[in-house]
Amino acid sequence: MQPLVDKSEYERLKAPIQRVNGSQFGIFQKDAYLHPHKGWFEHKYHRFCDLLDKIEAAEGSLYDFSLGFKKLGFNETEDGVWFREWAPGAKEVYLIGDFNNWDRKQHPLKKDQYGNWEIFIPKNPDGSYPIPHNSKLKIHLLNANNEWVDKIPAWIPYAVQNPTTLAYDGVYISQQEEHRYKWKHPQPKAVRAPKIYETHIGMSSSEAKIASYKEFTKDVLPRIKDLGYNTIQIMAIMEHSYYGSFGYHVTNFFAISSRYGEINDLKELIDTAHSMGIHVLIDLIHR
């Protein structure tokens, strides 16, 4: 995963934030009906400025804050694995999964001043990583209401549904080279007039079934290219528990839907689209 722009470009584009009173907002010069609400606009704006000041004081910049994937979730080092989860209301947090036989108290996390919980798990004596690739896991926590609950880590990139209980488990995706997809084609150059083909992977088959990333890559992408489209917009790509919702009630913010296949299958789809000169837009639903 890489940021869309580098830090130098962010600094060039960044607009200075200046504290002003409500009467100076340009919107009030265009819409007189908003005048009675000037105080509320000013209050919200100052709250935003206060929060931005706190973020920049703690993280260095809003750009650095946006690189949360380098800190939160799972991150492998030469010595082992760091796991971090933001849960400011939790009283206790433990990491559980196949790697520790789902022992609910073996791997406790520690909390910092910002509500981040973390744990470092060193490599095994044989040099292997402590959490196997594609193994299932969750966090076990005591919430603010003194209830013990199991949750999928917020930054997990993949989750699968248990066919019996219908509950979801997070899946650990190793960052080691042998598990990474090898990109073959660069992203196409930007187009001035995108011709967008909106699509849903699961509904893309002529058969009465949920289609896969691989099937879409093989059967549908060539037809999209032949029709002259230069962009596809993929719907319902985030993991969602109820298929009939069309992906509008997501289970996890950063996990792709496992109904259509694995992470590298989606990357292969995107890579193949790029080889055809087709841009790929992901329709994200954060609710």
Longest Cα–Cα distance in the chain: 71
In which band, very low, low, confident or very high, does the pLDDT at 7 lie, cut at 50, 70 and 90?
Answer: confident
pLDDT of residue 2: 58
- Strand arrangement of the beta sheet that strand 110-111 belongs to: 73-76, 80-86, 116-122, 110-111
pLDDT tens figures, 259-269 = 999 999 999 99
Q: How far apart are CA 138 and CA 181, in angstroms?
A: 25
| 73 bridge partner residues | 84
Which whole number is the average pLDDT over 34-61?
Answer: 89
Which whole number is the average pLDDT over 214-232?
Answer: 97
pLDDT of residue 247: 85
pLDDT of residue 144: 95
Which whole number is the average pLDDT over 75-99?
Answer: 97
Q: How far apart are CA 230 and CA 196, in angstroms?
A: 7
pLDDT of residue 174: 96
pLDDT of residue 287: 62
Which whole number is the average pLDDT over 121-136?
Answer: 97
Q: How far apart are CA 82 and CA 285, in angstroms?
A: 28
**Entry pTM:** 0.82
Which whole number is the average pLDDT over 132-144?
Answer: 97
Q: How far apart are CA 164 and CA 61, in angstroms?
A: 45
Average pLDDT, the chain: 92
In order of 63, 70, 148, the CA distances from 107 in angstroms are 32, 21, 15
pLDDT of residue 248: 84
Residue 44, H or E segment: helix 38-59
In which band, very low, low, confident or very high, does the pLDDT at 275 lie, cut at 50, 70 and 90?
Answer: very high
Domains (range + CATH), the chain: 7-66 (no CATH), 70-179 (2.60.40.10), 196-282 (3.30.750.90)
The residue whose two tokens read 């809003």 is 62
pLDDT tens figures, 224-252 = 999 999 999 999 999 998 888 888 888 88
| 148 bridge partner residues | 142
Whole-number percent of the chain with pLDDT over 70: 95
Please tell me the total number of residues recorded for the chain in this structure: 287
The residue whose two tokens read 């069309």 is 246
In order of 106, 156, 177, 244, 255, the CA distances from 250 in angstroms are 30, 13, 29, 12, 9
Q: How far apart are CA 96 and CA 85, in angstroms?
A: 13
Task: Give the closest residue to 213 by CA, choosing from 268, 162, 160.
Answer: 268
pLDDT of residue 3: 60
Q: Which stretch of 28-32, 87-91, 105-109 has the lowest confidence by average pLDDT? A: 28-32
pLDDT of residue 153: 96
Q: Please, are residues 172 and 132 in contact by the beta-carbon 8 Å criterion?
A: yes
State yes or no: pLDDT of 1 exceeds 60.
no
